[in-house]
Structure 1
Amino acid sequence: MSDRAAYDVVLVGGGIMSATLGALLRRIRPDWSLLVLERLDGLGLESSSGWNNAGTGHAGLCEFNYTPLTASGSIDVSGAIAVNEQFQLSRQLWARLAEEGTLGDPTGFIRPVPHYAFAHGAAGVAHLRLRHAALRGHPLFEGMELTTDPAVLARWLPLMFDGRSEREPVAVCRTRGGTDVDYGVLTRRLFAALAGDGADVRTGHEVRALRRDGRSWLLRVRDLHGARDHVVRAGFVFLGAGGGTLPLLQSAGVPETRGYGGFPISGRFLRAADPGLVARHHAKVYSHAEPGAPSLSVPHLDTRVVDGRAYLMFGPFAAFSPRFLKRGRLTDLPRSVHARNAGTLLGAARHHGDLVRYLVGQLTQTPGGRLRALRRFVPDARARDWELVTAGQRVQVVKRVNGRGSIAGFGTEVVTSSHGGLAPLLGASPGASASVAIMLDVLERAFPDDVRDWRPALRDLLPSYGVPLSQDPALLRDLTRRTGTALGLDHG
């Protein structure tokens, strides 16, 4: 790369989002020059890493936070339907690329793992029964089964229920068509395909600043190995740098985000590698948050396969670090606070008192407390079988909502900039699972005048693009069969 190179598109960040956007752009504008810049020496090592996310193919199959109870006592399933539709698009892209031979053996990054919703206590069981009743007849949730039978529970989830003496009501809802995804492996394969198709993919390159220059953007890039700076000109810039996105937006002076702040949250999990334990739990089991706890605290016990080896992971346990990335700087948080967002951050702290109390409680939690939380799932769990590991670092968007500082949900947010030619991505879960849907949103927002011409190519790649599968059961059945075959997802 010369000291002043020019590209049609620059993707900042070597994670699943940039990789997905690159794959889509290659289909609709194969003539565009494409540059990928990643600060670390490898790709998919931050939030996309197998150790830095839950690895769940989030499709609303088992997650209580996608089906909240309303004030009237009914249940809202719209979130589960929406995230399932999003995951279907991701499956379609991965399946198509696998069919074309550009992703290698798909069993290296995705595999069938049943998803279970686990309820305990009278209120939890009642919630699960409402959830099951509302979803079981929906085309996207076909085959969902609920049981309270101890014998069935022990057969489905032996690590959790074999020999269990339960003193409170419990229920479990199973969906066989769940998946476990190693997004790190998938990310690296997507980038390898891009590089093979002519994209310039560079690791060890950090974007230090960017600014508008006429109709394009100038990026100041540091080659971390050569210890020298370059300037890159781009017609369009996508900022998919996780926690590194907000500082870049602040350096660029994007007006829509001048009052934005970031609240970093780190996560820890208990991990087991003992083959005997792993063999007794082939499942992703999500429960509900404890009363008064925020939705991000939802505990889950997961089968994980990372780089080909199986583990069990239980958590999350929240931690705190001022870093905006797992491999970020200790000064990230203090450097992000300025006169325009300080009030917003303080207001958010007051408004989200439950979150603050939860984090304080988590920070003071002892190993014994974590073991007790695990024993809610695995009654005979032994401390020596589990090790505490630090997972990824997330930065929640803090902005003004209805005139006061607020954490703007716990999802992923695409920011539309009046500057043009710039698409920043902020937020966290369920980003990886919904990466295709989110990147389609980026294309529609960033290139509104071009999307109409691109739609035939996008629909060829993603047959359900623009078509709610919940309203077309025949197409859903066909795509489930085709993508399942292409990805090796024989759920039985």
Structure 2
Amino acid sequence: MLHLLYKFKGKRLVKMSNGETKTDVILIGAGIMSATLGTLLKELVPEWEITVFEKLSKAGEESSNEWNNAGTGHAALCELNYTNERPDGSVDISKAIKVNEQFQVSMQFWSHLVNSKLIANPQDFIRQLPHMSLVHGEENVTFLKKRFEALSNNPLFQGMEFSDNTEKLMEWIPLVMQNRTSKEPIAATKIDTGTDVNFGALTNMLFEHLESKDVVMNYNRSVNDIKRTSDGSWKLKVRNSVTGNVEHHTAKFVFIGGGGGSIHLLQKSGIPEGRRIGGFPVSGIFMVCNNPDVVAQHHAKVYGKAKVGAPPMSVPHLDTRFIDNKKTLLFGPFAGFSPRFLKNGSMFDLITSVKPDNLVTMLAAGAKNMSLTKYLIQQVLLSKEKRMEELREFIPNAKSEDWDLIVAGQRVQVIKDTEEGGKGTLQFGTEVVSAVDGSIAALLGASPGASTAVHVMLEVLTKCFPEHINEWEPKIKQMIPSYGLSLMDNPKLLQNIHTSTAETLRLSEKEPVFC
């Protein structure tokens, strides 16, 4: 067995005589995905040795960082892009159901971790917060009402309310409704069981737990190359960015969870499944309110409707956030373009990701997405005052001096050939690419991302460890009672899970007053 090839002392692996270090599992990237996969594996097979490599000096600093993402517990409660209107006028809620069920899996796993005392103080990473959708114009109001009727009849969305009454909306969102002079029809839906999730805080909690279980954390380490060895293992060439030293590490299983940087490593692995895949980076900018009096007037996540040509990740929203135990108000995101695949990446990331096998795919994507390119150029050229004008669609009396700009994280949308979309189809979602033998897997894509981390990592386990999944199933069901079941089809189980997770995660407790 692999773990007999080396000795483990404390939290350090002893190197073999040839300078290589061997381990069972290597996780590349110290974000929420690697943290979740590592935690699942330590629960299922605690004897497996796990090593983590992160290019930055600490965990959760890229896409998982609380300032680099929307922090929404993506449960499709407010995101209009998860519900599409069919040609016959009806609303398709199938994607909303899928996303909601996946988020419920995360909630159950987090509750298990709290109940097992593996992590503490759930309010440090999750809080209950109303989720709302807000639209303007007669056509959009009609759509929102039909969406509400379709969702509210489903047990997953029980408790959702709809209103086009300005007095009721004033109760729900006073900051948004104050001084609103437009006579244009306006409507909103609200559901009180939404959440705000600080994925940066959660990521650090999980890695602190993993370190206590002898998982070896290696920071300031960039994985420069990854190759298959003659015995089927994977050999990584790793550079220490502090000392400049090059290290070699080998494992039977490798997970590439390095955000946008995953594409380059997937390409270097040489697996056929990684061919003809490219990535399109989209950056983001949020506006953050620096006036506590304004922040105190809003308590919800309010999502609007994306502009024509905008990517789904650019849906405008006015969000209450809890960061470092402080109530904060953000608006955005405004899309932008940078060739970097990571916020701390290289300006050459995009160009070096173009290979002979994906060149045609990338060119086709460029030709098919000219409207997106035009939109991104327009967004990049926006002045702060132009951004304020968009904010005033949500807050009519917003003052420029109350808001600052912050650069959010990079998102890399997957580009690949599909049967439905043909050559160079831009994918908006989260995708796992794995070798046929399950020895390596990479996570690509963006939203809903972190919110569905547990579901996605269970998918990795199923794809990569099929010989173990039956053995692991009882433990998985202990951690996630709905595993293998549809909550929509089991309303009693759904109600029990809602009640238990809310209690364990302390979501029903009265919020403290923040300043």
Letter in structure 1 aligned against 2:405: L
Aligned to 2:51: 35
Aligned to 2:414: 397
Aligned to 1:196: 212
- Pairing partner for 1:59 from 75, 97, 101: 75
- Pairing partner for 1:163 from 173, 179, 194: 179
Report % sequence identity. 45
Assess, with a 3 A threshold, how the Cα gap between structure 1 residues 223 and 234 changes in structure 2: closer, same or farther: same
1:280-299 maps to which residues of 2 (within 5 A)? 280-299=297-316
Instruction: Say if 2:310 is the partner of 1:304.
Output: no
- Distance in 2, matches of 1:237 and 1:37, equals 11
Instruction: Say if 2:384 is the partner of 1:346.
Output: no
Q: Secondary structure at the match of 1:434?
A: helix
* Residue 260 of structure 1, CA deviation: 1.5
* Residue 292 of structure 1, CA deviation: 4.3
- Distance in 1, matches of 2:83 and 2:138, equals 17
Kept after mapping to 2: 8 A contact 1:351/1:405: no
With structure 1 as the length reference, what TM-score do the two structures score? 0.97
Aligned to 1:274: 291
Aligned to 2:375: 358
The count of residues paired between Structure 1 and Structure 2 equals 492
With structure 2 as the length reference, what TM-score do the two structures score? 0.93
1:58-457 maps to which residues of 2 (within 5 A)? 58-213=74-229, 214-402=231-419, 404-418=422-436, 420-457=438-475
- Distance in 1, matches of 2:53 and 2:340, equals 20
Assess, with a 3 A threshold, how the Cα gap between structure 1 residues 491 and 353 changes in structure 2: closer, same or farther: farther
Instruction: Say if 2:42 is the partner of 1:26.
Output: yes
* Residue 491 of structure 1, CA deviation: 7.0
Kept after mapping to 2: 8 A contact 1:294/1:358: no
* Residue 419 of structure 1, CA deviation: 5.3
Q: Secondary structure at the match of 2:76?
A: coil
- Distance in 2, matches of 1:162 and 1:480, equals 34
- Distance in 2, matches of 1:397 and 1:278, equals 36
* Residue 291 of structure 1, CA deviation: 3.6
RMSD of aligned C-alpha atoms? 1.4
Q: Secondary structure at the match of 2:434?
A: coil
Q: Secondary structure at the match of 2:411?
A: strand
Q: Secondary structure at the match of 2:282?
A: strand
Q: Secondary structure at the match of 2:190?
A: strand
- Distance in 1, matches of 2:146 and 2:296, equals 32
Letter in structure 1 aligned against 2:60: G
Kept after mapping to 2: 8 A contact 1:207/1:220: yes
Assess, with a 3 A threshold, how the Cα gap between structure 1 residues 420 and 475 changes in structure 2: closer, same or farther: closer
Letter in structure 2 aligned against 1:329: S
* Alpha-carbon displacement from aligned partner over 1:404-453 (angstroms, at most 9, x marks no partner): 43344211000121354001110011110000000000001111121111
Letter in structure 2 aligned against 1:458: I
- Distance in 2, matches of 1:126 and 1:415, equals 39
Letter in structure 2 aligned against 1:453: E
Aligned to 2:478: 460
Kept after mapping to 2: 8 A contact 1:177/1:491: no
Aligned to 2:3: none
- Distance in 2, matches of 1:126 and 1:449, equals 50
- Distance in 2, matches of 1:491 and 1:120, equals 33
Moved >6 Å (runs of 4+) = none
Stretches of structure 2 that go unaligned for 5 or more consecutive residues are 1-12, 511-515
Farther-moved stretch of structure 1 (275-284 vs 95-104): 95-104
Q: Secondary structure at the match of 2:407?
A: strand
Kept after mapping to 2: 8 A contact 1:470/1:476: yes
* Alpha-carbon displacement from aligned partner over 1:288-342 (angstroms, at most 9, x marks no partner): 1124444333110000111222211111111111111000111111211222222
- Distance in 1, matches of 2:117 and 2:494, equals 24
* Alpha-carbon displacement from aligned partner over 1:363-396 (angstroms, at most 9, x marks no partner): 2222222111101100001111111111000111
* Alpha-carbon displacement from aligned partner over 1:435-473 (angstroms, at most 9, x marks no partner): 000000000111112111110010001101111111111
Q: Secondary structure at the match of 1:166?
A: coil
Letter in structure 1 aligned against 2:33: M
- Distance in 1, matches of 2:425 and 2:330, equals 27
- Distance in 1, matches of 2:138 and 2:77, equals 21
Kept after mapping to 2: 8 A contact 1:347/1:404: no
* Residue 6 of structure 1, CA deviation: 0.6
Letter in structure 2 aligned against 1:465: Y
Letter in structure 2 aligned against 1:153: L
* Residue 62 of structure 1, CA deviation: 0.6
- Distance in 1, matches of 2:434 and 2:506, equals 37
* Alpha-carbon displacement from aligned partner over 1:118-137 (angstroms, at most 9, x marks no partner): 01111111110011000112
Aligned to 2:6: none
- Distance in 2, matches of 1:396 and 1:220, equals 27
- Distance in 2, matches of 1:7 and 1:312, equals 44
* Alpha-carbon displacement from aligned partner over 1:39-64 (angstroms, at most 9, x marks no partner): 10000000000000000000010110
- Distance in 1, matches of 2:155 and 2:339, equals 44
Kept after mapping to 2: 8 A contact 1:254/1:419: no
* Residue 360 of structure 1, CA deviation: 1.8
Kept after mapping to 2: 8 A contact 1:344/1:404: no
Kept after mapping to 1: 8 A contact 2:438/2:465: no
Letter in structure 1 aligned against 2:473: R
Kept after mapping to 1: 8 A contact 2:281/2:340: yes
Letter in structure 2 aligned against 1:412: T
Letter in structure 1 aligned against 2:291: D
Q: Secondary structure at the match of 1:215?
A: coil
- Distance in 2, matches of 1:361 and 1:408, equals 20
Assess, with a 3 A threshold, how the Cα gap between structure 1 residues 100 and 464 changes in structure 2: closer, same or farther: same
